[in-house]
A and B are shown apart, each in its own frame.
Chain A
Amino acid sequence: MRPFTYQAPADAASAVRAVTRDPTAVFLGGGTNLVDHLKLGILDPGLVVDVTGLASVEITDLGGGALRVGAGVPNSDLAADPLVRERFPVLSQALLAGASGQLRNMATTGGNPLQRTRCVYFQDVTTPCNKREPGSGCSAIGGWTRNHAILGASAHCIATHPSDLAVALAALDAEVRVLGQDGERVIPFTDLHRLPGDHPEHDTVLGHGDLITAIDLPARPIARRSAYRKVRDRASYAFALVSVAAAVEVDGGVVRDARIAFGGVAHKPWRAYRAEEALRGATAADDSYRAAADAELADAVAQDGLDGGNAFKIPLLRRTLVATLRDLAREDA
């Protein structure tokens, strides 16, 4: 690990200035991913700017059903918040499906969506990886692909985004408040993360020095009936093979509206707009849920791999979506 300077500025503007003017600088939040990357040699910053002392730890009721979550709110506090559990149960469930009690106490609202892929080749600095070292190649393609993408991958990267929180935020039409050197701006959460394309080194649209200050949850009455369902290789403390964040409104046996996002299957939390469209006006029954899944997964591509590949994820995700919708619709009846 290269020596670095540590700073803990008093306010967000100073932190943004400090990182912006030093191309080797990084923000430090809960540190659960960053400190690991320092040890693994994935990151080699000359300056670490700690924002935990200046980030908001408030969850503010914006009225009308909307909430503002400060970037410094720990994952555990957000998951336990009574207003979050009442208005956005999918958000609480997604957080509780991720990591461990200790990690949720450390990880922050602003930092969690910016955690990096757990692709084993990205984390192993002895193997080529276009995300870690652009142009070096992708070791995952044809390698161990169990945890890799089936949607939106490119010839340069098949990594998946590991955050559970991000999947719920994508389904909830959340908005990200960002402070950069040119002031504050708001980004729809679904536009925060990118598909890999030719530049898998960029996970998000944020520029160097951009700091997430809060995440807003707009009023979504539909989210009161929402759930997060995660399938993984062990019962707890593991990343998703596939996951589904969903909210549905059912009236008279008909699906009036739906919000759906997938995790564990793409470079970004995958908002399932086609499935939502297929569901609107459909009968609340398994056939409709399967048709919605098929609509969304029409372009899914399985990866071959040394471990037998990840073709299993396509039917697994279809069944996980159907089961999630069936449970929610039953509750709503």
Chain B
Amino acid sequence: MDSEIGLRVDGTPRRLTVDTRTTLLDALRERLGVTSPKKGCDHGQCGACTVLVDGRRVLSCLTLAVARDGAEVVTAEGLAPDGELHPVQRAFIDRDAFQCGYCTPGQVVSAVGMLDELDRGWPSAATGTGEPELDDAEIAERMSGNLCRCAAYANIVPAVREAGR
């Protein structure tokens, strides 16, 4: 069953016809050629497909494209529109926060969404009774939805901390 939808992807309006079964991840990668969101597990367990939808970090592999008609989607590519790196991207490079790099676009987008959540004062399981602060425990907890099989966590945590300053 085909359905026509519109998405704004990394600032560019796109129209496409999708089978209703198409996930947002497959629509981005296979139909629109936006390949920075990665297909890791495809079951919502690894975070490699993380994108911002209407400003919030979500898993594009568990999102039906047809259900996001009209949405604003930002991928890791869209964080650097004119080649000017986003502070989170810059920090990942400065801190060598990856090895193979496959999970990195998802890590970066997740960190951008997470820092915004922190700015809004949202608590996490690592937050005590006061306002949340960007310490290592908070970063580990808030980024727990992004797995890195190279285990570059030791550098991801400082990168996120640096970008969040």
Question: Hey, which bits of chain A sit against chain B, CB under 8 A?
Answer: 1, 3-6, 8, 28, 31-32, 35-36, 38-40, 48, 50, 52, 76, 79-80, 85, 92-93, 96-97, 99-103, 105-106, 235-237
Contacts and interface: CB of A to CB of B under 8 A. Distances in A.
Interface stretch (B86-94, B137-145, B150-158): B137-145
Contacts of A28: 64, 67
A281 B45 CA distance: 45
Rank and list the top 7 A-B pairs by shortest CB-CB distance, nearest first: A100-B145, A236-B144, A237-B144, A80-B122, A6-B20, A96-B125, A105-B56
Interface residues of B, number: 39
Contact of A32 (B3, B44, B47, B124): B44
Nearest to B21: A1
B21 A38 contact: yes
B121 A100 contact: no
B62 A50 contact: no
Interface of B: 1, 3, 19-21, 23, 42-44, 47, 50, 56-59, 61-64, 66-67, 110, 113-114, 117, 120-125, 127, 140-146
Contacts of A236: 125, 140-141, 144
B143 to A, nearest CB: 8
A102 B1 contact: no
B20 A39 contact: no
Contacts of B66: 6
Contacts of A105: 56-58, 113
Given A8-B67, A102-B58, 5 more contacts: A1-B21, A48-B64, A101-B143, A105-B57, A235-B141
Contacts of A4: 1, 20-21
26 contacts: A3-B1, A3-B21, A6-B1, A6-B64, A8-B67, A31-B62, A35-B61, A35-B62, A35-B64, A38-B21, A48-B20, A76-B122, A80-B122, A80-B123, A93-B125, A96-B125, A97-B125, A101-B57, A101-B145, A102-B50, A103-B59, A105-B57, A106-B63, A235-B141, A236-B125, A236-B144
A132 B144 CA distance: 30
A5 B21 contact: no
Nearest to B127: A96
A6 B67 contact: yes
A83 B110 CA distance: 27
A45 to B, nearest CB: 10
A235 B137 CA distance: 11
Contacts, number: 103
Given A32-B59, A106-B58, A237-B144, A101 B125 contact: no
Contact of A3 (B20, B47, B113): B20
A106 B123 contact: no
B117 A52 contact: no
A52 B67 contact: yes
Contacts of B110: 101-102
A292 to B, nearest CB: 25
A100 B144 CA distance: 6
A99 B110 CA distance: 14
Contacts of A106: 58-59, 62-63
Contacts of A39: 42-43
A48 B1 CA distance: 12
A31 B127 CA distance: 28
B79 to A, nearest CB: 16
A97 B124 CA distance: 8
A97 B127 CA distance: 11
A102 B24 CA distance: 14
Residue among A3, A4, A8, A102 facing the most chain B CB atoms (10 A cut-off): A102
A106 B42 CA distance: 16
Contact of B47 (A5, A8, A100, A235): A100
A171 B9 CA distance: 43
Contacts of B142: 101
Given A32-B44, A39-B42, A76-B122, A237 B145 contact: yes
Nearest to A46: B1
Given A28-B64, A39-B42, A79 B144 contact: no
Contacts of B19: 3
Contacts of B3: 6
Contact of A101 (B42, B62, B67, B117): B117
Contacts of A5: 1, 20
Nearest to B142: A101
Nearest to A85: B123
Nearest to B63: A31
